[in-house]
Amino acid sequence: MRVAVLGAGTMGGPMARNIAAAGIDVRVWNRTRERAEETGLDVADTPSAAVDGADVMLTMLADGDAVQEVAEAALDAVGDDAVWLQMSTVGIAANERLAALAEERGVAFVDAPVSGTKQPAESGDLVVLASGPSEARERVRSVLDAVGSRTVELGEAGEATRFKLVLNTWLAALVESLAETIAFAEAIDIDPQQFLTAIDGGPLGADYANVKGKLMIEREFPAAFSLSLLRKDAGLVLDAAERHGFDAPLIETVAAVCDRAIEAGHGDEDMAAVFCAYER
């Protein structure tokens, strides 16, 4: 099997390395060539060169527009029997456009976004949400196993994207709530570390609180998943909520708080930098 990985950034780069480590032939392409070269794998100059002769075209890019642009540049070079494994988080509307593009070009489309950030991408511990034709999913099974610790099997293409929005709703609310809780603790002269210690291991605790809470307390935000991407994902949730006639006031608040922190210059830092919206 040969896999072409289009997008070798924070997530796509380590995913490509893990696929190669599983004994699969991998060729990578990235808009910034230096990022692709950091993988140590075979690097293509263009998306079409990357997918030439590939059995699987894997897209892992920032948003739906980026995926569509790259896919349109690559699909004419994809073989008739290839599978397009779309693993980016793009939202419902964009995913429908991509699925239609795949159908137009006669390529099997597997909708398989992942849950996880930089560290689980590096260790191969992502959670994969897989939907699409069962035969196509089976053909990319070894790729899914290489990048994830488990795969949640869903139905037709599109279900995985909707499922990912549900996970992102929980994640966005959790991170923003944690930021406000720590900022509030500091405002009323309570040590936020004592709060984290008190909930650790109990029914109110979450491992994520310790990981992101530590960054907030120390005001250090090395990016595992950027604040700008969290804001993008919150926007995708809001788009889906509007489409389905669902009122989502909590995520509207999360988006607004993200905007404040981004306007303060923290968009490229870790999503824990949403805490900076509360700095006084």
Indicate if the pLDDT at residue 60 is higher than 90: yes
Range of the domain at 41: 2-157
Taking the C-alpha atoms of residue 21 and residue 80, their distance in angstroms, rounded to an integer, is 27
Question: Is 183 in the same domain as 222?
Answer: yes
Q: Is 214 a catalytic residue?
A: no
Question: Is 117 in the same domain as 233?
Answer: no
CATH no. for residue 196? Answer: 1.10.1040.10
The residue out of 140, 157, 174 marking a domain boundary is: 157
Amino acid letter, residue 191: D
The residue out of 118, 141, 157 marking a domain boundary is: 157
Q: Which of 118, 164, 212, 232 is catalytic?
A: 164
Question: Is 128 in the same domain as 231?
Answer: no
Question: Is 171 in the same domain as 247?
Answer: yes
Please give the average per-residue pLDDT across 59-63, as a whole number.
Answer: 97
| pLDDT tens digits for range 191-201 | 999 999 999 99
Indicate if the pLDDT at residue 280 is higher than 90: no
Number of domains in the chain: 2
| pLDDT tens digits for range 253-267 | 999 999 999 999 999
In the chain, pLDDT over 90 holds for what percent of residues? Answer: 98
Give residue 29's pLDDT band: very low, low, confident or very high (50, 70, 90).
Answer: very high
Please give the average per-residue pLDDT across 27-41, as a whole number.
Answer: 97
The residue out of 157, 192, 217 marking a domain boundary is: 157
Please give the average per-residue pLDDT across 129-151, as a whole number.
Answer: 98
| pLDDT tens digits for range 80-117 | 899 999 999 999 999 999 999 999 999 999 999 999 99
Please give the average per-residue pLDDT across 29-39, as a whole number.
Answer: 97
Name the pTM for this structure: 0.95
Indicate if the pLDDT at residue 171 is higher than 90: yes
Give residue 156's pLDDT band: very low, low, confident or very high (50, 70, 90).
Answer: very high
State both tokens at 2: 């040969």
Taking the C-alpha atoms of residue 280 and residue 276, their distance in angstroms, rounded to an integer, is 9
CATH no. for residue 63? Answer: 3.40.50.720
